[in-house]
C-alpha cells in the first residue's frame, strides 16, 4: 500500500508527514493553540539551523503561528527530508536545505540564515552560533537556543573564554529534553538507523557502545532489549561504574574492537574508533555513529587503509581493507539515526521542541545576560505535566502535612 499517488507533488507528501507528526506532538500543539491568540512572537525574525524533519516542521509552523517569520537551514547534510522542505517553503517559511547537500551548500544555508538578520537564533550543534560569533560586525541577535549536548558544550567554552555575545538557553539541559530525547529518542532512532541500513539481526550479536552519557545509555538499553550482548566503553569512571552495575560488559576499545559485530559511537569526542581498532576488527563489522559530528569514527583513515569501497545498500558503504577484511560504515559516519532513519519519533520531539518554543517566547519577553542559561524550571515542569496529561496519566499531589514534612528540618528519629 503506497500513501498518495505516483507522481504526487513532494509538498503534498510533506504535508501528510506534518499532519502525522502534529497528531503525535500534543504538547507543542497545545502550546500553539494556547499562545496563538496573543501572538507573543509578532514581528520577530527567527533564524534556525535544525534537522529539517517533520517534527522540526511542526516547531517552525508553531513559531510562525505565534507571529514569527522563520528562516531555516539544515543542521546536517544528510538529515534533511526534502518533502518537508517543499511543504514548509509553500507555507512561506524560508528553507535553505536539501538532502545530501554538499559542504558548500550546508554553509551557504547557514549564511542565508545569517543574511536574514535574525533576532533569535535556534541551533543544533552550535555551528550557527559559532559562525555568528566569528563575524566581527554588529549583530541583530538578542538571544538564542541550543538543542544538543555538543552545542551546549561549545557554548559553555565560548562563555568561559568571555566571547559569548548574547544569552543562549540550553534546551538540551532541560529534564524534559535530555532524559527523554537523548535517551529514548536516540536509543530507538539509532537502532532504527542500524536496521534500515543493514537489516541485520541484533539478537545474539555483540554490540559495542562507546560513551555512556544519556545517549549511550539509551542505545545500550535498546540494543540489549533486542537481544544483543552489549559492551560499553567509557573514559569517565563514574559512568563506567554505572554501566557495569547496569550489567553491561565494560572494556577498553582496544579490547572490545576484536569482539564487536556492531559498533556505535556516542561520546561527542573525536577519534573514538581509529586505525588501531580497524586493524583488530572482525570481517563484516558494522560501524555507526550517533554523536552530533562525524568525527567519532575516523572515516578519513578508514578510507586511507582500505584498498577500495563501494555502496552496498542505501546508507551503507563497504570498505575492503588491505588484508581483505570488510568493514561497513553507516551514513558516512554521520548521525546514523538521522542519516539512515528519520531521527527521533514525534512523541519525544514533542517535549524537546516545546522547550524550544517556550524558550523563544521567554527570550523575547525577558532581558537576559549574555550567558548560557537553563530552561526556566517552571517551563520544564509544565511540559512534563502536559505530557503526562496527554498520555492520560494522573499523578498524586502532596497533602498539606507532606508539604510541611518535606519543607522542615525538625522532624527526625
Ligand atoms: N534530532 C533528532 N531527531 C530529530 C527529529 N526527529 N527532528 C529534529 N531534530 C532531531
- Sheet containing 143-146: give its strands across: 94-96, 69-73, 45-49, 120-123, 143-146, 168-170, 372-374
For the chain, give the percent of residues with pLDDT over 70: 98
163 phi and psi angles, rounded to 5 deg: -105, -5
Q: Closest Cα to atom 9, ligand 1: which residue?
A: 51
Per-residue pLDDT of the chain (413 residues; tens, 9 = 90+): 666 655 679 999 999 999 999 999 999 999 999 999 999 999 999 999 999 999 999 999 999 999 999 999 999 999 999 999 999 999 999 999 999 999 999 999 999 999 999 999 999 999 999 999 998 778 899 999 999 999 999 999 999 999 999 999 999 999 999 999 999 999 999 999 999 999 999 999 999 999 999 999 999 999 999 999 999 999 999 999 999 999 999 999 999 999 999 999 999 999 999 999 999 999 999 999 999 999 999 999 999 999 999 999 999 999 999 999 999 999 999 999 999 999 999 999 999 999 999 999 999 999 999 999 999 999 999 999 999 999 999 999 999 999 999 999 999 88
pLDDT tens digits, residue range 1-60? Answer: 666 655 679 999 999 999 999 999 999 999 999 999 999 999 999 999 999 999 999 999
What is the 53 CA–ligand 1 centroid distance (Å)?
6
Q: Which pLDDT value is given to residue 8? A: 73
| Strand ranges for 115-266 from DSSP E | 120-123, 143-146, 168-170, 206-210, 229-233, 249-250, 262-265
Angle at 184 between CA 287 and CA 332, to 5 degrees: 25
Ligand 1 pocket test: which of 17, 53, 122 has the largest number of ligand atoms within 8 Å of its C-beta?
Answer: 53
What is the 51 CA–ligand 1 centroid distance (Å)?
6
Radius of gyration of the chain (CA): 22
Residue 342 DSSP symbol: -
pLDDT tens digits, residue range 140-189? Answer: 999 999 999 999 999 999 999 999 999 999 999 999 999 999 999 999 99
- Mutual angle of helices 346-365 and 54-65, in 10-degree steps: 30
What is the 211 CA–ligand 1 centroid distance (Å)?
20
What is the grid cell recorded at 387?
505530557
What is the 344 CA–ligand 1 centroid distance (Å)?
5
What is the 360 CA–ligand 1 centroid distance (Å)?
18
Ligand 1 pocket test: which of 147, 349, 351 has the largest number of ligand atoms within 8 Å of its C-beta?
Answer: 349
* CB-based burial, 320-359: b 16+ in 10 Å, e otherwise: ebeeebbbbbbbbbbbbbbbbbbbbbbbbbbbbbbbbbbb
Pair 156, 372: CB distance under 8 Å: yes
Ligand 1 pocket test: which of 17, 79, 341 has the largest number of ligand atoms within 8 Å of its C-beta?
Answer: 79
What is the 200 CA–ligand 1 centroid distance (Å)?
24
Residues at CB less than 6 angstroms from ligand 1: 50-51, 53, 55-56, 338, 343-344, 349
Pair 389, 26: CB distance under 8 Å: no
Ligand 1 pocket test: which of 84, 122, 338, 348 has the largest number of ligand atoms within 8 Å of its C-beta?
Answer: 338
What is the 299 CA–ligand 1 centroid distance (Å)?
24
Residue 376 DSSP symbol: P
SS3 315: coil
Amino acid at each position: 500500500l503506497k500513501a498518495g499517488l505516483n507522481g504526487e507533488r513532494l509538498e503534498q507528501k510533506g504535508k501528510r508527514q506534518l499532519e502525522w507528526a502534529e497528531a503525535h506532538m500534543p504538547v507543542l500543539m497545545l502550546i500553539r493553540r494556547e499562545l496563538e491568540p496573543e501572538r507573543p512572537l509578532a514581528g520577530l525574525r527567527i533564524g534556525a539551523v535544525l534537522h529539517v524533519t517533520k517534527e522540526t516542521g511542526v516547531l517552525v509552523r508553531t513559531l510562525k503561528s505565534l507571529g514569527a517569520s522563520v528562516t531555516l537551514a539544515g543542521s546536517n547534510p544528510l538529515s534533511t527530508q526534502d518533502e518537508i522542505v517543499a511543504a514548509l517553503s509553500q507555507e512561506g517559511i524560508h528553507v535553505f536545505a536539501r538532502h545530501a547537500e554538499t559542504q558548500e551548500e550546508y554553509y551557504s544555508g547557514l549564511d542565508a540564515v545569517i543574511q536574514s538578520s535574525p533576532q533569535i537564533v535556534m541551533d543544533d550543534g552550535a555551528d550557527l552560533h559559532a559562525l555568528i560569533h566569528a563575524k566581527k560586525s554588529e549583530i541583530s541577535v538578542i538571544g538564542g537556543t541550543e538543542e544538543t549536548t555538543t552545542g551546549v558544550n561549545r557554548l559553555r567554552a565560548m562563555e568561559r573564554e568571555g566571547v559569548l555575545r548574547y544569552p543562549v538557553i540550553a534546551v538540551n539541559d532541560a529534564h524534559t529534553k535530555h532524559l527523554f530525547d537523548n535517551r529514548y529518542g536516540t536509543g530507538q532512532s539509532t537502532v532504527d538507523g542500524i536496521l534500515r541500513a543493514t537489516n541485520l539481526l541484533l539478537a545474539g550479536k555483540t554490540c559495542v557502545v562507546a560513551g555512556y552519557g544519556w545517549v549511550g545509555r539509551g542505545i545500550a538499553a535498546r540494543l540489549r532489549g533486542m537481544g544483543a550482548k552489549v559492551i560499553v566503553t567509557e573514559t569517565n569512571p563514574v559512568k563506567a561504574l554505572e554501566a557495569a552495575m547496569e550489567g553491561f560488559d565494560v572494556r577498553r576499545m582496544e579490547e572490545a574492537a576484536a569482539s564487536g559485530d556492531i559498533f556505535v559511537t556516542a561520546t561527542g569526542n573525536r577519534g573514538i574508533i581509529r586505525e588501531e581498532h580497524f586493524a583488530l576488527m572482525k570481517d563484516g563489522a558494522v560501524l555507526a555513529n550517533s554523536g552530533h559530528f562525524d568525527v567519532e569514527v575516523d572515516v578519513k583513515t578508514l578510507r586511507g587503509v582500505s584498498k577500495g569501497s563501494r555502496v552496498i545498500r542505501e546508507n551503507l558503504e563497504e570498505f575492503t581493507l588491505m588484508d581483505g577484511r570488510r568493514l561497513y560504515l553507516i551514513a558516512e559516519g554521520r548521525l546514523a539515526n538521522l542519516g539512515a532513519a528519520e531521527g527521533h519519533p514525534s512523541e519525544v520531539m514533542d517535549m524537546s521542541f516545546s522547550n524550544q518554543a517556550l524558550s523563544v517566547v521567554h527570550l523575547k519577553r525577558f532581558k537576559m545576560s549574555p550567558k548560557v542559561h537553563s530552561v526556566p524550571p517552571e517551563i520544564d515542569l509544565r511540559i512534563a505535566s502536559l505530557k503526562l496529561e496527554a498520555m492520560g496519566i494522573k499523578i498524586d499531589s502532596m497533602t498539606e502535612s507532606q508539604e510541611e514534612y518535606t519543607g522542615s528540618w525538625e522532624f527526625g528519629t
